[in-house]
A and B are shown apart, each in its own frame.
Chain A
Amino acid sequence: MSEIPLPSTVKRVAPWWLIRHETMLAAILLVALIVLGALNNRFLTLDNLLNQGRLTTEVGLIALPMTFIIIAGGIDLSVGSIVGLCAIMLGYSWKNFGFPLPLAICFSLGIGAAAGFFNGLVITKVKVPPLIMTIATLALYRGFAEGISQAHSVRGYPEWFYFIGQSDLIGVPAQLWLLLIAIVVAGIALDRTTFGRTLYAIGNNETAARFSGLAVDRVKLIIYTLSGLMAGLSACVLVSRVTTTRSDMGIGYELDVIAAVVLGGTSIFGGLGTIWGTIVGLAMIQLLKDGLALTGVKGDATIVVIGAVLILSTLVASSLQRRRDGV
């Protein structure tokens, strides 16, 4: 009778955590940073890096719940439109309804949550596939933003409102604090709570998860609502940063977010992914764009590089992961 080799006898090339997708990506990022830093001495300054953190916050806030959603096997393409809608509703409710600004901010967040909830409701109850539902709401919510705003921008907010988007707190940009707190919360939720484990279970095998008694529908509803809520928060930060509202805000965010999440090792098929990976993916895209621009590479060449990096990094990291898994 032949012996089935036990895992302990399988030869390992290196410790498992070293060959993880996220670690490989972080290594690639480090190499890229060093190269770009060498080419341009203004890139690796604290000032510049903090500023890049400020600019990444809006996409970063949305990337966190998107990680949850993609791990659970879904997707949400309407986040960009929700950002636009919430931005418009912030201005509209403040100016036209006469809400005091703090109430307008809460209202805008509420609209975002409601938009996400509607996505989740139709996805779980009517069972429309997430890709289709969010493509439809991408158009619908953007349409609401355009219709309600009638292409008018709302400006002239009180000074205190600009703090979140433009000022620093102990030297670090205010919105970056927000992002850091959100990252910690999201990371703990995904890694240490039953909620997080449920997401992986749903992503790996939804039917099995359901039969195991997990509240699949409720969890899905939560993550889509969360996605809408974070889009609303992102909208408030954006309006604070640029001091005005436009109905075309947030266009294209969904692709930026998905690129960061997928680059970070979250599998589009579900069941795999970490917040840490998403952060590395986010940092990589933003810092690459910034570093290339500072080195003098023009806008059109930069997006070619980003596209190539996306494909190549995924290739490298996935094949290494596969080798680790023995596939």
Chain B
Amino acid sequence: MTGKDWRNLSLSAALLALAALLPIYGSPYWLTMGTTIAMFAVLATSWALFSGPTHYISLATAAFFGVGTFVTGLWFQVLPFWALPLIAAGVGAVLAGLVGLVTLRLSGVYFVIFTLGLAEMVRQVVTWVQNQTGQRGMYVLTSLTEREIYWMLLGLGALVYLAGWLIGRSRLGFALRIIGNDETVAKHSGIDTARAKVALFMIPGAVAAAAGAMLAPRYIYIEPSTAFAPLLSFQVVIMALLGGTGRLWGPVAGVIPFTLLWEAITRQAPNQTLLLMGLAFLLIVYVLPGGFVGLYDRAKRRWGGHS
């Protein structure tokens, strides 16, 4: 590793430690906000791992997340809690792999459309199964406090960053950058494009499901219509694109301001959140195509001189 790598690593460790100490110096309000931010940071960063290099817009986050919460809801009484995110990650990865196998051989439009309705479809099926078996929603009552959920999410976030950093240095990451630039070139240089994409898509699937499993105790009561709320997928896309997918730290730079803004709007004018969402999408397309990362890179090129 070079000196720059060591510098980045120690900087990340320091930031992680600062974030991990939030429950000690922050008020309960900021702990709640911190948990929400940590959740979106995990979801948006893992989303960008796949959608950043490939330019495939995935709207499946809510489906994986909902599956994760149901894993906890179904088994938290029979299994130790630490096992649940692992199981959820496995289920999420398998589901993502199946979706990927069906859609990722084809062009991006098919993928977007398929993931757009995926959460709703899974919700319908889960509701139907519950009706058949006579179940309703589930209570998830555990002894976990918000502080522990927050720390679990931070740990998951650290793992996502580590995975992103490793992928960036690996053959898979290199292959994906080529696919993102020109898929035909990638095919001609002998890359199995479909397999690389499916393999990568399993990461956000697993991470979103694990995050759902960790956050289930926070919701206390789980039912299909809230667990699979499609809005979550769009929030994740907006935040990741607002921050920019070109760099690993990009999504977090979008998550923090957008979550704070979202909370403020929800408090002031709850009916206007969708309008805000729409305007944010338009802002990204017309004003900030590369997100904050793009802005930063342009500023650096203009004033920064080297690198």
Tell me whether A and B are bound partners: no
Residues of A whose CB lies within 8 Å of any CB of B are none
